Amino acid sequence: KMDIAAAFENKYPSHLHEKLKLREEKARAFLPAQPPFVYHTQAPIHGASNSLIECACAKVTIRDSKALGRYVVATETIQIGEVVAVERPYAHVLLENCLQEHCYWCLKLGYSWKPCDNCVYAMFCSNDCYKEAWHSFHKYECPILATLYALEVSKLPLLALRIAIMARDRYTDILEGKYDNPAIPSPFYKSQRYQEIHLLAANTSLRTVSDLFSKAVTAAVIRYIVQISSPLHAELVGDYRVFDELVMRHLQTGPTNFHEISEAEDGGDEKGFNPSEIGAGAYAFLSLFNHSCDPNVVRHCHGAQIVVRAIRMIHKDEQLFDNYGYHYAMMKKTDRKRVDSVCLVTCYKEFLQSANFPFKVRTDYGCNKQRKNCKKIFFNNR
């Protein structure tokens, strides 16, 4: 239907209209027998809603300390498998290599698209998705996407730019310092509000001069491209103070706060399904989970939504820990320490600080002797 409507809108020859309408009628006749395509299962619903946190269950809360900053703790026992939170991102980006396969707005997989009227990159699964993306951010980034991709600007700078664009109606409040209080922004923590994203830790004081210089150059390049080619320049009326601040700010908050968006990819009969990255998103609540090499929660993606589940029993007043990709069972302690210093994250599990997991254990399966018809099976740990 969308393709036929687009054909009529784009001056399809009038003498062929009847033929196209007949084809539409034939196609509609097959629809009742066509099973609906489900890109991903519906995200589950957590238990009783939290009175303070929009996306979380009632069994968690946010605390603050000088050592840990803001973090998430259980207010009562959380059982294994229980849904802790279901969160949508404030903003998200699609990886360049996924542009032809996923909707630019909702990230659904598909093969029949409505392309953007002005660029060759953004594809949409419906007119509604096109309108949402266009008014939210795409009309400002559309003229500059080709330049950004040609410069190989990665996902985190693109996400920082998109956040700065989406927050444009908050520039006055930011300039007046209304978002500078690091305390919890309001009695109710909302995922779709910019204030929560603004207050995520940037860790500026922990960064090296070379890291800050690199990010400043990236921010300057993005600002220059916007200034000469984006309609946003006209709206800013030459005043880039807040825009520059937000791009630089979220270039710093991104590496330790933003999350990967992935989908299950079939790896074959032997490998099963493996997560495949398709994008990245800014999740206000998920960013408050501190890192551990031995986490007690796990994240799963349902499109752009992320569902957090407990993988161990979590007791009252116990902190909830996520894993940022560096698990003690998969990486040596020396490697994890090196990653910690680069990504500015620290594992808070004491026993993992001293134990050098994973242990080096060699296991042989089957008899080592080259004998015919030998069926002995043993485990030999050396």
- pLDDT at residue 95, rounded to an integer: 96
Q: What per-residue string of b and e applies to 267-286 under the rule 16 or more CB within 10 Å gives b? A: eeeeeeeeeeebbbbbbbbb
Residues 141 and 19 in one domain: no
Residues 17 and 115 in one domain: no
The length of the chain in residues reads: 382
Burial of 98 (0-12, 13-18, 19+ CB in 10 A): middle
- pLDDT at residue 264, rounded to an integer: 83
Residues 24 and 142 in one domain: no
Residue 234: inside a domain: yes
Quote the number of domains for the chain. Answer: 2
pTM score over 0.85: no
Residue 79: inside a domain: no
- pLDDT at residue 362, rounded to an integer: 42
Domain that holds residue 16: 2-33
For the chain, 382 residues long, the average pLDDT of each consecutive 10-residue run is 73 83 83 74 79 94 89 96 96 96 92 90 94 97 97 97 96 84 68 93 92 97 97 90 96 94 78 84 95 90 94 96 76 63 54 49 47 47 36
Domain boundary among 236, 259, 282: 259
Give yes or no for a cis peptide into 358 (omega within 30° of 0): yes
Residues 12 and 147 in one domain: no
Residues 275-291: tens digit of each pLDDT: 889 999 999 999 999 98
Residues 165 and 253 in one domain: yes
Residues 21 and 167 in one domain: no
Residue 145: inside a domain: yes
Residue 200: inside a domain: yes
Residue 132: inside a domain: yes
Residues 279-331: tens digit of each pLDDT: 999 999 999 999 888 899 999 999 899 999 999 999 999 999 998 877 676 66
Residues 131 and 18 in one domain: no
Residue 361: inside a domain: no
Residue 382: inside a domain: no
Residue 67: inside a domain: no
**Is the Cβ–Cβ distance between 303 and 87 less than 8 Å?**
no
Q: How many CB atoms lie under 10 A from the CB of residue 73?
A: 15
In order of 99, 103, 179, 304, the CA distances from 111 in angstroms are 11, 10, 42, 18
Residues 7 and 111 in one domain: no
Residues 136 and 26 in one domain: no
